Structure 1
Amino acid sequence: MKSMTPFLMFEGRAKEAMEYYMEIFEDAEIRYMREYDEDSPEMQDKVMQGVIRIHDQLIMVMDSEVPHEFSFTPSMSFFIECNSLPEIEHYYRKLKKKGAIHMPLDEYGFSNRFAWVQDQFGVTWQLNFTK
């Protein structure tokens, strides 16, 4: 195997999501972005293929040209091990904005601080901090 990379398919908001993640994660970087060309006027300014790096993780993204009946589901999520309470609180505050809370930031038996949130794009994030 050469590599294995998470791939997120959006419905028209991939560029917005990548920019949003750049604001949240200070070490994020858009590595590559190719937009659809003029041959697809309904897809103008939409991402045909993109790659964002968050910390050491590459994530591929795209906007689907084809409408579909499915979206993201909480059964697949990104799990982030945080270094500090301020870090987990920062991610929690930012990622839940205009999103949903599956498990509020709190102390649980398996973690000193844990939260499970869905961001405004439907992507879910599990945040964990253990002393």
Structure 2
Amino acid sequence: MSSKIESYLFFDGRAEEAAEFYKTALGAQVQGLMRFKDAPPGAGEGCTPAAQNGDKVMHMALKIGDTIVMASDGECKGQTDFKGFSLAYNAVDAAEVDRTMQALSQGGKVMMPADKTFFSERFGMVVDKFGITWMVLVYKA
């Protein structure tokens, strides 16, 4: 097995809501979900305030296409703060870019409408309702 980098997102108490959103918007599949109450006794003590709420998500893995995005409820303060990065969604064609942009913009905001660029047949940017910036494009290597 080779090394790889995977994203780990902290939804601050909204991880299950995010999973449902990405199931609809991106066809995500929950590959695993562990709640704080599922941890062995004492394992969550002192970790985060979320450990006090056993039903919150300690860890989950979302499969989106061929990629795994891991996530948690984190500290459950209700304020996600995703800054300094974007997730890129590589669509198969221009029509998928448009569908994906539309789906991700529900409750969010289109930052750059999808259009043809010098590097992509179709490229756009959207911030979803959780504050994650997505670059949606047809990428040709």
Counterpart selection for 2:62 from 49, 52, 62: 52
Match of 1:10 in 2: 11
1:103 equivalenced with 2:112 (yes/no): yes
1:72 is aligned to: 82
**Greater CA drift, 39-48 or 95-104:** 39-48
Higher strand residue share: 1
* Aligned-partner Cα distance in 2 for 1:5–1:71: 18
- Please list the CA deviations of residues 23-76 of structure 1 after superposition, one character each: whole Å capped at 9, or x if unmatched: 1223x2111101122996863432111111111111110011264987102x31
Provide the rounded CA distance (Å) in 2 between the counterparts of 1:4 and 1:109.
28
| Gapped regions of structure 1 (runs ≥ 5) | none
Task: State the shift of 1:112 in Å.
Answer: 2.5
Which residue, 112, 137, 140 being the options, matches 1:128? 137
State the partner residue of 1:23: 24
Q: Check the 8 A contact 2:30/2:61 in 1, yes or no.
A: yes
Secondary structure in 1 aligned to 2:22? Answer: helix
Q: 1:100 to 1:31 in 2, by over 3 A?
A: same
Give the TM-score normalised by structure 1: 0.83
Q: TM-score, normalised by structure 2?
A: 0.77
Say which of 114, 126, 141 aligns to 1:117: 126
The one-letter code sitting in structure 1 at the alignment partner of 2:15 is A
* Identical pairs, percent: 29
Shift, 1:115, TM fit: 0.5
Residue identity in the other structure for 2:65: H
Amino acid at match of 1:118: V
Q: Which has the larger radius of gyration?
A: 2
For these two proteins, the number of residue pairs brought into alignment is: 129
Contact 2:12 2:80 in 1 (8 A): no
The alignment's C-alpha RMSD in Å is 2.7
Aligned equivalents of 2:75 and 2:137: distance in 1?
Answer: 35
Mapped pair 1:83 → 2:84: no
